[in-house]
Structure formats: C-alpha cells, structure tokens
Structure 1
Amino acid sequence: MAEYSWQAGLWQRLAGRSQHAHAYLLHGPTGIGKRDLAERLMALLLCQQPQNHAPCGQCKACLLLAAGTHPDLFILEPEDVDKVIRVDQVRELVDFVAQTPQLGGRKVVLLEPAEAMNLNAANALLKSLEEPSGNTQLLLVSHQPSRLLPTIRSRCIQQACPLPRTGESLAWLATSLPELSVEERETLLQLAAGSPLLAFKLYRQDVLSMRAQVVDGIKKLHKQQQSPSQLAESWNTLPLVLLFDWFFEWSLLILRWQSNASEVGSQDMAKVIQYLAEKSSQARVIAMQEWLLAQRQKVLAKANLNKVLLLEALLVQWANLPVRN
C-alpha cells in the first residue's frame, strides 16, 4: 500500500490509537492520498496480528484482503465514474453492517467519495453511522465535505488530511515521473493546485496537451480567428470541471492584476490576462466568476447539461469581457 511522507505524522496518530472511532471522515483536496490512507487504515483494522502500527501481511485476514476476498470488508463507490451513489447501494451497506463478522474480528466499510451519495442515500446511512452494530468501523473519504449533510459530518470523527509542501510534492513527482523535465513537473503541480497525485493523474490524462489546446483556442478567440461555437465543439471531449477551474483561476488573476499589477502567475496565459485586466471592468469579471461557480456546482451535482451549449456560453462571456470602445 502506498505511503507518503506528508502523511507520516497523521498516520502515527491514527494507527497509534488504542481505541478507534466507529466512523472517520477523511477529507481534503483531491489528489493528496486520502484513499491510500483509508486503505492503510482499513488493512490495519482488519489485521489479526498488527505489528508496529502496520498490518502483518501474513495472517488470514491480510491474505484475504490481498486476494480481494475479505468477507468483513465492504467498499462502496459509484457504479460508474461521475455517477451518484444510490440509496439501494447504501441499503446493501446497512445489511452488511448488521451482520456478524465472519472472521470474528472487525468489519470495515470504506466509502468514497462520500459526497457522491444522493439525499436518499445519505439519509439511509445515518442510522448505521450513529449506531453501527457489532465491531464495525466506517471510513468515509471526501474531497468536498461541505457538500455532505451536517448530520453525516456530525456522526464522524472529522480528520483533515495534509496537503504536502511544494518541495515534498515535487520530490514525489520526480520519483514518479522521472521522464519529465523539472519545468513540466512544476507546471503539472501548478495545474493540480499543489496536489501531487492529482498532478500524476492529470499527466496520464495528457493534461499538458489539453492545456496547450485551450490556451491556443483562447488566443484565437480574441483574435477572432475562431468563434465561440467552433471552440465549444472542439473542446467537447475536455473535462468540464477542469475547464471551469482554469477559467476561474484566470479570472482571479485578472482581478489580482487590476488590483496591483502584480506578477500574473500563469505564464502561458500572461499576455491574455494582462490584456483583459486592462480592458475589462471588475464587475464583468466578478459576474463571470459567479457564473462559473454556479455552473461548476451543477456539473458536480451531475445535472443533465448540454456540454457544447454550456461551453459556448462560457466562451461568449469570456470574449465579451473587454469593454468595447
């Protein structure tokens, strides 16, 4: 199981507990290793002979876990990427919690991401969170704990997971992606908002090429070499949340430049940001930020959206930021 240097202190505190809470909520930004931490804790809780705050790897429970056949483990995830966790899935979890452990030790539930539960699913989980039967531990992993019901959060021990320092992240990326240059790793980490595992994932998704495509498209948009509708069609395969995050970051940099003409901080978009900062009103930029946040929330909530029309609306607003003389 993966171990990360930035989690060492937290792991010692969690693994060293003489008694464990019935439910933990491990939360923090995407891409910092929360799932790996939950799996390490899961293995420790299920191990029959833990040693030095670690599973032994040799007992029956450890061998069953390694084979993926442990009878006292229940993992709950969306059935498909970007789908919700449905109430009938949670009802299966509730039935599992009510059972007697087959190996005579603990039962463990791992649920990720917790915010993927719809309202009915979250309500169905409350009873098990409040009074789990038998020796059951529930490990909830959340990238956005603010989207969870307050009643879910209040029934768990909430544990913030640390974001690594920049040096730690770059050192991990140097080991994981030695084929890249230092500059490429730094760019990836910046695109991932400092989360090294997300940076690695973005690299595997060819995000550097995506970024170049988007930046080139924006420059052509401002030169009137491409229309919003043409760009929207060409971006149809790009992840919406990623695009919204980039445009929000750029709008923030525009406002920052307008405030004190500071370093832009986004080298590939520096000239565009400076141009828009000089030509746009703060009111328009702030209005676009509000629109971006609202649409991003709809995407995260799995709303049924027309992607091309949404991208076209985004690009029309962006193109209209400069105040016409």
Structure 2
Amino acid sequence: MADGYPWQQALWEQLAGRAQHAHAYLLHGPQGTGKRALAERLMARLLCQQPQGTEACGTCKSCHLLKAGSHPDNFILEPEELDKPIKVDQVRELVAFVVQTAQLGGRKVVLIEPVEAMNVNASNALLKSLEEPSGDTVLLLVTHQPSRLLPTIKSRCQQVACPQPSQAQSQAWLAGALPGSGESERAELLALAAGSPLLAVSLQAQGVREQRALVADGVKKLLKQQVSPSQLAEAWNGVPLLLLFDWFCDWAHLILRYQLTQDEDGLGLADMRKVVQYLAQKSRPAKVLEVQIWTLEQRQKVLGKANLNRVLLLESLLAHWLQLPSAR
C-alpha cells in the first residue's frame, strides 16, 4: 500500500526518515494491522535509487524491478505453502544471498514473514546472517507472535512495535474497505478480529459471521443435550480449528471474569452472553480454570501446526465443556 495505513504514519516517518538503518528490524504486533505492508513499503524505500523524501520514487530501475518481482537484491522468505513451516533449506538459500555483492550497487533487502514459521533448525541457520550481514544488507523480520521466537533471534534485531489502530481508526478504514457493511456489522467483525481491521476484512471474506452463528448455535444445543459432541465436530468441519479454539479460550476467560466481577457489561458478544452467564453461575471456578488451561494448551498445539486429529480434538473439547455446568 503506497501511502500506508493512517495508524502507521508516525512510525513510518520515524523509520523511513533515518539517515542510518539497523541491519535487522523485527516488526511485531497483532495480526491484521498491516505489518507486512509496512515492511514492503520500507523495503521499496531502502532499495530505491532516487527516493523522494520518505517514499520510494516508483520510477527508477530498482522500483520497476521490485514491482515486477525480479529485483536481484531483494529476497523474500515465507512458507512455500500457507500455514506450513519455513524450511531450513529455504534459510540456507537466504544465507547464500546475504553473502553476495549487491548487483545494482546499492543495498540488499531481505523480508521474512512470518518469522515464527521457522523451526529451531531454520532459526539457528539464520543467526549468523542476523549477526553479521555482509555488505549493506537490511533484514526485515515480521512476526505476529514474538513470544514464539528464539531469544537469540530477538536480541540480534532492533525491535519495532507496530501500532494497533484505535476503534475509530479501524471503523473509518473498514467503512472504506467494506462499503456495503453497516456500523454494527463492522463492530462485530472488529470484535471477532480482536480489533485488527485487515484481519476483519479477511474474516469477512471467509464468512466468519456465518461460522460464528453456526458455532454459537451448536454450543447452545450441546448444553441442552440436543446434539452430541461428535455431531458438532462434523457440523463444524468448515470452521478453521484456530478460530474455534480462539472462541472457546475467549469464552472461558469471560466466564472466569464474570465469576470474579459479576459485571454484565463484560460478557462478550451478544450471541453468547447468556451462555457465558449461565456457565459462570453453574460451574465451579476451579473447574472453569482447568478447562481453560486445557483449551489453551490445545490451542498452542494448533498454533504449532501439530499433526492433530481434528474430529477427536473437537469431541474432546466439547466433552470438557459439557462437564462445566455439572461441576458445582
């Protein structure tokens, strides 16, 4: 995005206006807030032969090659397939690129996203390049989950916290990105995307509101014993596993919070408020905490791309939740 996102403007001016650049930046922040776009904008600015203030000119040979995806001094490292790890062989290719001389006589720029997709072997293979990049090389690392990175990776980078937009900025941007949407629809999408507007657009495209309605309805029927865990596991086949675990982790948190505060304004989205309140009133806090810890542990396995049996995992999740109301 040539002119970036409005919530990034102050950070952009600070980054792009530098006379000297760090050899490695770690751009971190919530998913769906435009970190990749910021990294690409900085990459273009660093490679440009005739920058116009803080922006790439868009017309020099370097800018044309970058747009065509054939810039010899640019290397992008990302998973070969969506949601797969970055392999050690890919990192070795990157290491070979870093030691070469820049072909256009300027900088070399590397973009890695998401950094947490590298396993330990791939991360270790990257360390030397991060410590001593040859020539004028800048590495731009983008992560949604800095807690999953090796400390040795983080310590070799200048860390850049990418801002999350305010509710007003998100609403204004979403109104332009989803012109046919109403304010309440946008507010619901933003809540489901934890306030990240780009993620909200992505979730809207995959039909998240319909998926959420299906899941909320299923949980209500489960608690009334109108459906079994195995029937629901099958019915939810089209809902991404991570999304399901995000929602169940959130509901466990809301139940515990309500048990502590009795604050009815803190019951989450309207579709599950009554269920959250019911479970909070009918369950022992110790049991809710136990189920929350189990749910979070399974979510970590999903995040770590563990080889999981989806149906068995969902049946187990729902069996845990069925135990809550009777746990007084």
TM range (shorter): over 0.9
Unaligned runs of at least 5 residues, structure 1: none
Q: Which runs of 4+ in 1 moved over 6 A?
A: none
Shift of 1:238: 1.3
Structure 2 counterpart SS, 1:179:
coil
Name which of 282, 289, 302 aligns with 1:299.
302
Structure 1 counterpart SS, 2:91:
helix
Q: What one-letter code is carried by the residue in structure 2 that aligns with 1:89?
A: Q
Q: What one-letter code is carried by the residue in structure 1 that aligns with 2:325?
A: P
Query: Which residue is 1:283 aligned to?
Result: 286
Q: What one-letter code is carried by the residue in structure 2 that aligns with 1:74?
A: F
Query: Which residue is 2:17 aligned to?
Result: 16
Q: What one-letter code is carried by the residue in structure 1 that aligns with 2:255?
A: I
Query: Which residue is 1:320 aligned to?
Result: 323
Query: Which residue is 1:132 aligned to?
Result: 133
Whole-angstrom CA distance in 1 between matches of 2:73 and 2:238: 40
Contact 2:259 2:280 survives alignment (8 Å): yes
What TM-score comes out, normalization by structure 1 length?
A: 0.98
Per-residue CA distance 1:84-123 (angstroms, 9 max, x = gap):
1110000000000011111110111000000100110000
Whole-angstrom CA distance in 2 between matches of 1:324 and 1:136: 59
Whole-angstrom CA distance in 1 between matches of 2:189 and 2:105: 46
Matched, 1:150 2:151: yes
Worse overlay, 112-121 or 1-10: 1-10
Query: Which residue is 1:75 aligned to?
Result: 76
Query: Which residue is 1:122 aligned to?
Result: 123
Shift of 1:234: 1.3
Shift of 1:237: 2.4
Structure 2 counterpart SS, 1:26:
strand
Query: Which residue is 1:232 aligned to?
Result: 233
Shift of 1:59: 0.4
Structure 1 counterpart SS, 2:259:
helix
Matches within 5 A, 1:22-61: 22-61=23-62
Whole-angstrom CA distance in 1 between matches of 2:171 and 2:17: 29
Matched, 1:273 2:264: no
Shift of 1:323: 2.1
Whole-angstrom CA distance in 2 between matches of 1:21 and 1:52: 19
Contact 2:283 2:327 survives alignment (8 Å): no
Contact 2:49 2:60 survives alignment (8 Å): yes
Shift of 1:260: 2.0
Give the number of aligned pairs: 325
Unaligned runs of at least 5 residues, structure 2: none
Whole-angstrom CA distance in 2 between matches of 1:255 and 1:24: 38
Query: Which residue is 1:203 aligned to?
Result: 204
Query: Which residue is 1:63 aligned to?
Result: 64
CA RMSD of aligned residues (A): 0.9
Whole-angstrom CA distance in 1 between matches of 2:192 and 2:303: 19
Whole-angstrom CA distance in 1 between matches of 2:16 and 2:36: 16
Structure 1 counterpart SS, 2:326:
coil
Whole-angstrom CA distance in 1 between matches of 2:327 and 2:290: 17
Shift of 1:265: 2.5
Per-residue CA distance 1:126-148 (angstroms, 9 max, x = gap):
00000001111000000001110
Contact 2:284 2:327 survives alignment (8 Å): no
Worse overlay, 224-233 or 259-268: 259-268
Query: Which residue is 1:168 aligned to?
Result: 169
User: Structure 1 residues 97 and 223 mapped into 2: Cα distance closer, same or farther (>3 Å)?
Assistant: same
Structure 2 counterpart SS, 1:141:
strand
Worse overlay, 183-192 or 266-275: 266-275
Structure 1 counterpart SS, 2:111:
strand
Percentage identity across paired residues of the two chains? 67
Whole-angstrom CA distance in 2 between matches of 1:141 and 1:250: 29
Matched, 1:97 2:98: yes
Q: What one-letter code is carried by the residue in structure 2 that aligns with 1:291?
A: W
Whole-angstrom CA distance in 2 between matches of 1:190 and 1:136: 39
